[in-house]
C-alpha cells in the first residue's frame, strides 16, 4: 500500500480509502466488520464516514465497533453539516453551535475521543466561513479534532477559506472531498487549481461513477436488482441521468477499448488515473464485500503511461 501526505499537513493516508456510506444501510454490523477487517489487513488506513451515513449515525456506530482497539492505527474521518433532524433550521450546519453539538455526537457514536479529519459536508451559505473555521479551530486546540477539511466546496470557497485561516490565524482546511472520476472532471476547472495553490489535498468520491467504471453495467440493459442504479431508478431518477447517461456510456466504451489494447481492466484505469494526479491524496471508494476491497487495492497499483494519459484526455477531458 502506498501512503501519501494529505495536502500540506503532517497527516499521511493510504492511497486507497474506504467510503463508509454502506455501513448501516447495505451492511449490518457483521458485514461492516468483514469489510473493515479486510481493509486493515491490506494496509488501508483511511476510513471516511459522516454523521448522516447509515441513517442518523449508524455508519459511525458500526465503524467504531468494527475498529475497536485498532482505532489508533487508522485515520478516522467524519463529516458534519447535512440535515440530521431537529436543529438545522435554527442553526446552520456550519454555525458554531451546530458544529460543537455535532462533534460531540460523532465522538460518542464512534467511541473515540478524537477525530483525525473532521470535514464540513457541504457549504453553509448562511454562516460566515470565519465562524465555521473558528469553531473547528477550537475543536482542534481542544484535541478533539486533529485536522479539518471540506466537501463539495467550489474553488473560490476553497481560496476564501484559505485566506480566512491565514489572516485570522486559524487551523486551515487540509482536504477537499468532491466528486471526481475519469468521467466527471468538472472540478479541474476551478477546484483543482485552488487546491494546488493552497496546499489542500483532494479526496475524490464517486471515483467509480457509482459502479459504471467497474464494468458491471451494460448500455441498453436493465440494471440488476439490488444495484445502486436499480435503486436510484425509482427513488432518485435524477441521479440516473447524472451517472448513466448515453454520453457516459459512449465514453466508457472508448475507455474500455483503450484498456483492452493495454491489457488491463477499467477498474485499474479508474484508480490508477486518479492516483497519477499529484494533488490526489487518497481515492475513497465504498465496498459491500471484502472481495471488492481486494480488487480496489490491486487496481490502485496500476498507472497509465504518458501515451495512455493523452488518449484518456482525448476521450474525457473538459472542453474549454
Annotated catalytic residue within 3, 53, 118, 180: 53
| Number of C-beta neighbours around residue 290 at 10 A | 17
Q: Which residues pair with 181 in a beta bridge?
A: 184
Which triple of cell numbers denotes residue 54?
A: 447509515
Contacts of 86 (CB under 8 A, 6+ apart): none
Residue closest to 7 by CA, chosen among 184, 169, 162: 162
Question: Is 3 a catalytic site residue?
Answer: no
Q: Which residues pair with 47 in a beta bridge?
A: 18, 76
Instruction: Concatenate the DSSP letters of all residues of 206-249 into one string.
Output: STTGGGGGGT---TTSPPPTTSHHHHHHHH-HHHHHHHS-HHHH
Which are the catalytic amino acids? Answer: 53
Amino acid at each position: 500500500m502506498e501512503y501519501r501526505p494529505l495536502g500540506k499537513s503532517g497527516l499521511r493516508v493510504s492511497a486507497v480509502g474506504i467510503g463508509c456510506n454502506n455501513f448501516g444501510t447495505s451492511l449490518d454490523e457483521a458485514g461492516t466488520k468483514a469489510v473493515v477487517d479486510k481493509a486493515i489487513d491490506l494496509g488501508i488506513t483511511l476510513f471516511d464516514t459522516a454523521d448522516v451515513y447509515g441513517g442518523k449515525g449508524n455508519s459511525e456506530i458500526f465503524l467504531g465497533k468494527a475498529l475497536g482497539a485498532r482505532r489508533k492505527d487508522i485515520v478516522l474521518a467524519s463529516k458534519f453539516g447535512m440535515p440530521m433532524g431537529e436543529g438545522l433550521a435554527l442553526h446552520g450546519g456550519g454555525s458554531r453551535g451546530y458544529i460543537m453539538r455535532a462533534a460531540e455526537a460523532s465522538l460518542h457514536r464512534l467511541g473515540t475521543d478524537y477525530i483525525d479529519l473532521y470535514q464540513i459536508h457541504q457549504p453553509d451559505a448562511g454562516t460566515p466561513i470565519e465562524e465555521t473555521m473558528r469553531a473547528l479551530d477550537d475543536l482542534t486546540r481542544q484535541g478533539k479534532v486533529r485536522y479539518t477539511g471540506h466537501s463539495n466546496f467550489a474553488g473560490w470557497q476553497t481560496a476564501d477559506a484559505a485566506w480566512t485561516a491565514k489572516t485570522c490565524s486559524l487551523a486551515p482546511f487540509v482536504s477537499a472531498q468532491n466528486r471526481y472520476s475519469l468521467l466527471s472532471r468538472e472540478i479541474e476547472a476551478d477546484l483543482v487549481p485552488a487546491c494546488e495553490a493552497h496546499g489542500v489535498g483532494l479526496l475524490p468520491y464517486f471515483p467509480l461513477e457509482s459502479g459504471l467504471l467497474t464494468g458491471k453495467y451494460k448500455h441498453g440493459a436493465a440494471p440488476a436488482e439490488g444495484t445502486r442504479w436499480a435503486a436510484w431508478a425509482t427513488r432518485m431518477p435524477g441521479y440516473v441521468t447524472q451517472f448513466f447517461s448515453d454520453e457516459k456510456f459512449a465514453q466508457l466504451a472508448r475507455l474500455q477499448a483503450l484498456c483492452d489494447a493495454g491489457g488491463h481492466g477499467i477498474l485499474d484505469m479508474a484508480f490508477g488515473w486518479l492516483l497519477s494526479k499529484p494533488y490526489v491524496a487518497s481515492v475513497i471508494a465504498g465496498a459491500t464485500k471484502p472481495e471488492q476491497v481486494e480488487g480496489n487495492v490491486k487496481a490502485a497499483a496500476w498507472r497509465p503511461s504518458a501515451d495512455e494519459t493523452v488518449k484518456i484526455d482525448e476521450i474525457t477531458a473538459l472542453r474549454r
